[in-house]
Structure 1
């Protein structure tokens, strides 16, 4: 991490536009299909860790079995694990950044994942601050109207 990145992470990001701008500088442009987990501190600063996650399943509604949860949807399992990471790291909330090499247009898979994560965060009590799409030309915030 560069000194400039450290300075960006020291900024309090109260507004969605400020968060978007800092994430854009930190993450740049899309170069693969992956999900970024960005944790936020209570103070409104970006917390640790910032984690990329490749190879998440195509369908959030596909069932899977977990030793501790039994048979659940992939989306439920992922948000459950994100919630555990948030608690373990002492962060206040999470931001999801869906990275994929494509234009700034949501496809069915994008919508399904964004919707599932919003639903599962609400059901599990995981504070989901925002979701973004990192695409070929930049970063855009996703709103419920985009995926519901």
Structure 2
């Protein structure tokens, strides 16, 4: 998925900006078990590529996490600008209530670890549910 005219979109300066962008692009959950990756350059501009990963398992599997770590590590240089390093926004989409489940929390902790291991900034881990979007980490 690409964002129409991403250069026209406001920069993501605050946590509220990030939440508003995730809410606008992902919104209320439509499918069960999907992970959205959004990338932000060092200037705070979201890149035009939004990557949904379908059929995410209920629990984070080690080989999936290793693969995601490598992908994010490989993008660090592409996201860096003169103003700073880039970052990522991660959103777990799943049907159901807004309250976090133990599996949601397990995913959130795993995604935080992935970003730390990939040495890439994390602008937030979000949950998209039947009630909309909210921050988990």
Both proteins in one fold, TM over 0.5 = yes
3-state secondary structure, aligned to 1:128 = strand
- Whichever of the two has the greater Rg, that structure is 1
Contact 1:8 1:22 in 2 (8 A): no
Looking at both structures, which has the greater relative contact order when contacts are Cα pairs under 8 Å and sequence separation is at least 6?
2
Shift of 1:2: 9.7
Unpaired runs of 5+ in structure 1? Answer: 65-73, 144-148
**Counterparts in 2 of 1:51 and 1:106: CA distance versus 1, 3 Å:** same
Gaps of 5+ in 2: 80-85
Q: Distance in 1 between matches of 2:118 and 2:91?
A: 19
Aligned to 2:71: 81
Is the Cα contact below 8 Å between 1:103 and 1:137 reproduced in 2?
yes
TM-score (norm 1): 0.75
Distance of 2:76 and 2:48 partners within structure 1: 12
Q: Are 2:119 and 1:99 equivalent residues in the alignment?
A: no
What residue in structure 2 maps to residue 54 of structure 1?
54
Name the structure with the higher strand share: 1
Q: What CA RMSD, in Å, does the superposition of the two structures yield over aligned residues?
A: 2.4
Please give the alpha-carbon distance, in whole angstroms, between the structure 2 residues aligned to 1:114 and 1:49: 22
What pairs with 1:8-19 in structure 2 (closer than 5 Å)? 10-19=9-18
Give the aligned length. Answer: 130
Tell me the equivalent position of 1:130.
124
Closer, same or farther: CA 40–127 of 1 in aligned 2, 3 Å: same
Contact 2:2–2:50 under 8 Å retained in 1: no
**TM-score, normalization: structure 2?**
0.81
Taking the aligned partners of 1:103 and 1:11, their CA distance within structure 2 comes to 30
The SS at the match of 1:47 is strand
Q: Runs of at least 4 residues of structure 1 off by over 4 A?
A: none
